[in-house]
Structure 1
Amino acid sequence: MKADQLNYEGDSEKDDDKDYEAGSEGKDAQFNEVPIIDEEDDEEHVEVDEELEPDQVMIAKLVKGQPFKRMVDSVIRFNIGLIFNSKEHMREIFKDYAIQEGIEFTIMKKDKVRQTYKCAINGCGWRAHASCMIDGVTFMLKTLSDQHDYHRVYNNKKTKVKWIASKFKKLVKSNPGIKVKVIGDLLRESFKVSVDIRRLYRVNNRALKELAKDHAQCFGYLRRTFIGVDGCHLKGPFGGVLLSTVFLDANSGIFSLAVCICEKETQDN
């Protein structure tokens, strides 16, 4: 793969520490360029734009990048200028990319304004660096060297139980009795990753527990049983009180459960 490097100051490996300062200066420069208008000036010399642009549109113009999107076949491809929604989103995407390409990387820098990833193998040139944009939330990929010269890692440490369960949750939901061996074969075929049998059992149990939580949440949306108790006084030669218990059926109709005729409406009755 061809290595791409961003050739401007502040984005090389030696100048990664300047991202915060450069970002702050750029942010101040944007605000310093805005002219200050005195409210006491004559109206003839003041031009006011009545249709001001929203903050998101202004930020989009200042951040000339490309939002990250997965390919149709779910393959992840990186290029300089990609924008991630947040640092958590960026870590999730890079974890999927590491498993996809069989790379084990270490996070060199992971503060609020910088994210730097490097291959864990000494001598490998794979490296990616991103810094926070002026909005303080999104991150832009500014340095990328995607040349990985070493062999593929099949037992990747990034394949945690939580990650595998998230990928096979729908499969377990549609087939709760699936065998862990089938999950292992699909994991090896789809992601080229091999894990031990104990981890696969933990993956299956975790997916089943999440499925049980979904059932519990769905139970809360069911129709709650409504039972009403009422009584009316009977007028005639015998008198008394008619007590009845009713509830709503599936067609929202009134259905009688029990009927009782007593002398008085008391607690004993």
Structure 2
Amino acid sequence: MVVPVLHASIPETANAARPVARRLVFGIPGIPNTQEGAGSSSSSTEALPEVADEFGVDTALADIQYEEDEIYVGRVFKSKTDCKIKLAIHAMNRKFHFRTPRSSPAMLLAQCVGNGCPWRVYAVLLDASGKFQVRQANLIHSCTVHERRNYHKLATTQVIGEIMQSRFVGIKRGPTATAIRKIMLDEFHVNVSYWKAWRARELAMDHAMGTMVGSYSLIPAYLALLQSSNEGMTCFLESTDAEDGGRRFKYCFVAYGASISGYPSMRKVVVVDGTSLKGKFGGCLLSASAQDGNFQVFPLAFAVVDSENDDAWE
């Protein structure tokens, strides 16, 4: 199927090009205020602390404390899974193990495994949003060291993935599975297997950068935006019907307008090649390029296909 061109959803009017004036509490130094013009960037930057003091922003930020793994009555978690993960991190940092004798979609009860230990956390569902709130919390321990020694069992793939998620934000690769094993051993004194560390790394990457399935689902919208912003561009997307009623990606072809318009000036030799994609779904990346008068590589088009076969090349 050919991806349609997206049209602008906001009609062009006489006021469409007029900049919208906004009063920013937090600004970026060097960016001028739209109300004062480009020549007053320094004055607008100097006025930012006064605006922040007026609204009490500095005082509010100074009072904020990072909750980390602290558990207290009234703390709200975004979901039941998030509540269990935060409880597991709390227990691993304090070297004890807990169990969940009662658990349902609307409540969660966690108790220390120690015989007669009073440690207990009770959380309930707040509303239809799925958030959980701690209603009761007794954080005093009376268990022995022998009873607390199985805290390493709380280091599941989900818990490790939550701990490592921040290490993948804004970073291309993040720690490897071997590095994750070392981090867990140094910081939490928990020895995990290589396979568990590898699965935790995959979960952390999915949470931080998105899943591969989600990336494939964004291809139609991405190609439509490319067509609307690149004149003369040619792109083609083909998908097949899946068993569950959805669509499954098969082929994708992209040739930018600059490459198409520049081809008549190239040497009349086209080089095609393909390479395997190292990912969960595999596939091949095909490319076509030419050579300009200065003997430099000039890219013409590229495609993502299932494999290097006759149908894909056609």
TM class, shorter-length: 0.3 to 0.5
Higher relative contact order (CA 8 A, sep 6+): 1
Q: Which structure has the greater CA radius of gyration?
A: 1
| TM-score where L is the length of structure 2 | 0.41
TM-score by length of 1: 0.46
